[in-house]
Each structure stands twice: as structure tokens, then as C-alpha cells.
A and B are shown apart, each in its own frame.
Chain A
């Protein structure tokens, strides 16, 4: 990553936690993404990829100026929505990294039924192909266009 990484202040982290709680709110026994402590994961990921980092910094700077952390929930949603409208590409990148952090978490995996961990060497079992399913298509006459040599 060629862009210099800006270290987050405690104020930044407070805003990030609040933003993440609005983006992915609580469900069942899981709190919002920010309260789950996944801000550290977002920091780590954004530090590895410049477009994510720029998106995070852009959002934090925009929302900090509005006193985001002290706003009531609906007003926070309005502030996030305004940034989404003004900076759609940056917002989508930030949203992606928040989703990467949230849906990379084992607690979430348990809730949604996703098998945690690497996909390999585990894989999945599927029944082998059964030719009987081709019975109807096999009744079709060839319909590719022949061409003179």
C-alpha cells in the first residue's frame, strides 16, 4: 500500500464504533457491529488496502465534523446517508470493509450457519451428476446453424 496510513485517534474510534452500529445493527443476541468490537478489524483491513483506508478516513473526517458520536440514532442515519449520497464510491468501499469485518467473525458465522474457517481443504459434498435429468433436453433436435465449408 503506497498511501500513508493515518492512525486513528480515540475520537475516530468512537465515531467508527457508532457508525458500524448504525450500518449493521443488533440482531438476536449479537450487538451492532461496532459494539462487537469489530472496529479493530476494520482498522486492520483498511491498513492493508489503500482504497479502504481512504474511504475510512474520508467518512470519519466527514462525520466528525458533524459531531456524529453525540447525535441520536435517526440523525446519525441521516449523516451517513448524506455521505453515501455525496461520496458513493467511497461509501461503498467503507461499507464493504465493514461487511468484511462483520461477516468474517465467528459469532456471525454461527448465527447464519456459515462454516467458519478456510474453504480448503474442507470443500463440500455434492451428489454426482445424474444423466437422467437430461431426458427432456435430449429430445431436442440439433439447432445450431450449419455452415457450408
Chain B
């Protein structure tokens, strides 16, 4: 049984009646980075709030690093690729037509359970791409509009780092000092220094000290696999406890398949499968979508109706369009200088370089990229390749392994993708999830600009590695399994013909529908998007607090 926009579950289910819940003022779909932030910020404003999350609560003490088989779990049920995990809360994604495979996690906390918690901010120029560089579009908001929300989010999530980075505008002192660079980080930093290139300790949402009841990181390594110590911020251990304490209800095991609308086209709530597989209707006075840059457009396309024939709030035709990732090149340097094993310390939160961030036309491409240092990993993941081809099997195996294991440092270059309408999310005509709901299908091709960007990044990263003392270097020009950042598919703008939501995240076509996740991005910058996603979500919440008293039922 396949459910798409053209079918209605009650018909598909043979007319079985759905259960209807008591109405709420605000219904949030998704409990990840943005869902948690918006829920907390609204939680003391007098609204009745419910969040529907298709996954469940995680138990940090059961994360894979608490067991000796953590590497097997990372390759199977705790992979960051939903198509590999195949857990009940996952839905498949048809990525056969994509140069980059999307990565996500469905649970309370969403993909923040799996992320490495890098926390850079957009630059002011990232909001003015059209005005400055003649491509893409400008945002209808600015860095200044988000700055207080970046600060608020840094305090809530817990940011370790150090102010004074010359590549970024001044900002408040970080709540915690930087994470340790380690001998491998210091080695790479000296490489940047020798070239006269910028580097700075990464802002990270990982505790370098005990912070707000959560322990400090103890440098176990693979922080993309959940954090047993809760040292790494995820919204299940930061925003959600506070939101729930203020009265927000979080209902798990709830797989939404439709945002319902009335005859006037306004949102009336959502229909979902509960944990027992029963269809439920949740009425609401407003709906906030926080289901990530693939989940949100999928849901909007599933919610077509007579008033929204091309998908919910899609008069522009842009729902699902302009899908952006951060193309990622990986350059790995191998060392034999005896520096301590390179698996000790957080995987990816050491240092970054934005030497090549701002546009310089002489490079042959527009926009730029950020380098982020990553450490090496455990033995099985090293042998399987991780970001490289697998270690050779056979006669060359042991020598090949010995060169890589504990002796490597890598630079990941995250490039700024440009929004292109042909890169998009659609509903798959065949593939469904376990409830029969049409799965998303993505179409994505790397642009020429991005390809030139990555080539430039690889060449310069190789130079950094050699300056740091690497005896050899291996490069991956485009890492396919790098679709961590999902952006652009319900873009923000002032013109309803060229955007889906306005500067407050409100859908142009539906005045009680909001989008707060990366779908609303106009451009993607060249940094991890989550702090910006969360800052936007907090700002949207403040707009609702101040301007939408009409959404309160009491």
C-alpha cells in the first residue's frame, strides 16, 4: 500500500476511522536541531505546544562507544546513513540520482544525536551572495538579525572555543575554552602557520569543561556516534528537557504523513501513524515544520490538496527545489614523526581554516570553502577506508594498514553549494517507507563551480599536509557519503513567486505554517549549518511570541 498526495489514508485503509486528539495551539513536526530550539523558545509564551517525532528517545548510556563492538554498530544499526541503518524509525531515500548521499537520523534530537557538533557561524557576506558575487540570491535577513540568536544558542547548547578569530566578526567570549588540539592538531596548525594561512580552534558544541549539568568530553574519539557522557550537545539533552519542563508535550513514534488543511487552505493540523500503526489526527492552530531539508519538502509534497494542488504552500513551485549540500573533499596526510596515535580526541572538532572562504574571482570560482581537521579512527574503520578507499587486501594489506592506522590526519573541505533548481527532492513513484508513505527521491549533480572549488581545496590541502610534515597524501575529491547538511528546499524570500517562506519562516501561501529547518536556507555558506538553523528557529519563535497571539486558544 503506497500513500502519496493523491491518496488519503482513510480511503487506502478501507475507510477505517482515524482517532482525533485534543487540539493544540502549535504543532511542531520533528524534534531535532530546530524542533528542539523552537519548542523551548515558545514554551513559556502561553501556547499549548505538541511536537510529533517519528523516532524515539535515545539512551546515551547505550550508544555504541559504550560497547567493544562500536565499530560494527557504526557500520550497521548506528550508521549515519538511513539506507544502511534501516531502523523502524528510518525512511528510505532514493539517492540513485545524486552525487551525494543524504544523511540523517530520526529520534528525539534528530541528526544532532549523530553530528560531530561543529558550531561555526555564517559570515555576514553569506547573507548577501547576490549583491556581493552576482550569483544565487540574497537572504531577506542579515547576520545582524541572527547574531543575538547565535549567542543564545551558543549558551544553550554549550559552546567551547575562543573569541578573536580574524576570519569572523567579533563575538562574545565562548562559554567554555577550546577543546584540546592534541599533538596532531598542533602539528597541523604549524603547517598552516608555515604557509601563512588562517586557522583557528573550532567552535564546538562539545563541553571542554563540565557545563550545565553535562560532563566534559573525555576525548574518546568518534563523536559522530552519539555521546555517552552527554558532553556533546544534542537537543534531547539541551533544549528538550527545558521545553518539557515548561509544558511542551513530545510524542514519539509518531510518523506524520500529511499536514491537513481546510477549505481556506490554512493548516489545520497533521495526520500521523502512531506507534501502534493507528492513524491519528492532531488538530492545531499552527504547524511548524522542522523535519530537515529532505523530510520537510517531502511532507509538504505529500500534503497536496485542492487548495494546494502542487504540494502544501507550493504556488512558487519551489518546494523541494534548490537542494543544497556542502560538497566535501577529503585530503589525508600520513605521518611518521612519532606523534601520539591520531585517534585520541574528538573526531572532528579541532581546528578549522577559512583562508579561502570569501570569494576571490582570481581562483576561477565564486564563493569558497572551509577546512576542518578530522582525526583518524579505530582499526576496523581505518581498514574499511572511512573516507578513503579500503585498505588493500592480500599481500599489501598489513603494510598499507600500518601506514594509515594512528598515523593520519585529514582535512575536510566543505564548499559552498549554489542553489540550482534542478537539484531537488521529489516523491518517489515506487519506493515507500514501512507505512507505505512515498519516500523522497533526490536529484543532485555537482556544479562546475563546486567541482572547481573542490579541486582548489584539494591542491591547497595537500600543501598544508606537506607543510605539516606528511610523507604522503591521499585525496578524495568528492566524498559521496557527505550529505550531512540538507538545505534550500523551502527557501526564504520576500517574493512569493521566488520563495516558499518569508523572512519570519512563515509560508507565503499559508499564514499559519512555518518552516524552521535548513529547508528555509537561501544559500548554504561554506560551514556547518546547524547553529544558523537553530538561530533562525529561535528568531522565528520570537516572531510567533510577539506577533502571533492570534494562535493562542486561551
- Which of A's residues lie within 8 Å of B, judged by CB? 22-25, 27, 45, 48-52, 77, 80, 92, 95-97, 99-100, 102-104, 108-109, 112-114, 116-131, 133-134, 136-138, 140-147, 149
Nearest chain B CB to A85's CB is how many angstroms away?
Answer: 13
CA distance A24 to B392 in the complex (A): 9
Given contacts A24-B393, A133-B181, A100 and B378 within 8 Å (CB-CB): no
Q: Does B169 contact A (CB under 8 A)?
A: yes
Q: Does B189 contact A (CB under 8 A)?
A: yes
Contact of A126 among B123, B177, B345 (CB under 8 A): B345
**B124 near A144: Cβ-Cβ < 8 Å:** yes
Which of B67-75, B250-258, B302-310 forms contacts with chain A? B67-75
**26 contacts across the A-B interface (CB closer than 8 A):** A27-B398, A51-B84, A80-B394, A96-B75, A99-B383, A100-B380, A103-B383, A109-B379, A118-B65, A122-B218, A126-B182, A129-B201, A134-B200, A136-B193, A137-B198, A138-B164, A140-B166, A142-B166, A142-B169, A143-B166, A144-B124, A144-B167, A144-B169, A145-B123, A145-B358, A147-B132
CB-CB nearest 6 A-B residue pairs: A123-B218, A126-B180, A103-B379, A103-B380, A124-B344, A99-B383
Q: Across the two chains, which residue of chain B brings its CB closest to A98?
A: B393
**A124 near B68: Cβ-Cβ < 8 Å:** no
**B220 near A104: Cβ-Cβ < 8 Å:** no
Residues of chain B within 8 A of A133, CB atoms compared? 181, 186, 189
How many CB-defined contacts (below 8 Å) exist between A and B? 172
Interface residues of B in 180-194 (CB under 8 A from A): 180-182, 186, 189, 192-193
The DSSP consensus for interface residues of chain B is: loop
CA distance A75 to B181 in the complex (A): 48
Nearest chain A CB to B81's CB is how many angstroms away?
Answer: 11
Nearest chain A CB to B256's CB is how many angstroms away?
Answer: 24
**A99 near B221: Cβ-Cβ < 8 Å:** no
CA distance A98 to B134 in the complex (A): 51
**A104 near B71: Cβ-Cβ < 8 Å:** yes
Residues of chain A within 8 A of B125, CB atoms compared? 144-145, 147
**B220 near A143: Cβ-Cβ < 8 Å:** no
Contact of A24 among B132, B341, B397, B406 (CB under 8 A): B397
Residues of chain B within 8 A of A129, CB atoms compared? 162, 177-181, 201, 208
CA distance A119 to B63 in the complex (A): 11
13 further contact pairs, Cβ within 8 A, besides A112-B379, A121-B66, A147-B143: A25-B398, A48-B76, A99-B380, A104-B68, A119-B220, A122-B218, A124-B220, A126-B344, A128-B177, A134-B162, A143-B358, A144-B357, A147-B125
Residues of chain B within 8 A of A140, CB atoms compared? 166, 198
Q: Across the two chains, which residue of chain A brings its CB closest to B345?
A: A126
Given contacts A99-B383, A140-B166, A119 and B393 within 8 Å (CB-CB): no
Contact of B219 among A45, A80, A125 (CB under 8 A): A125
CA distance A97 to B69 in the complex (A): 12
**A120 near B66: Cβ-Cβ < 8 Å:** yes
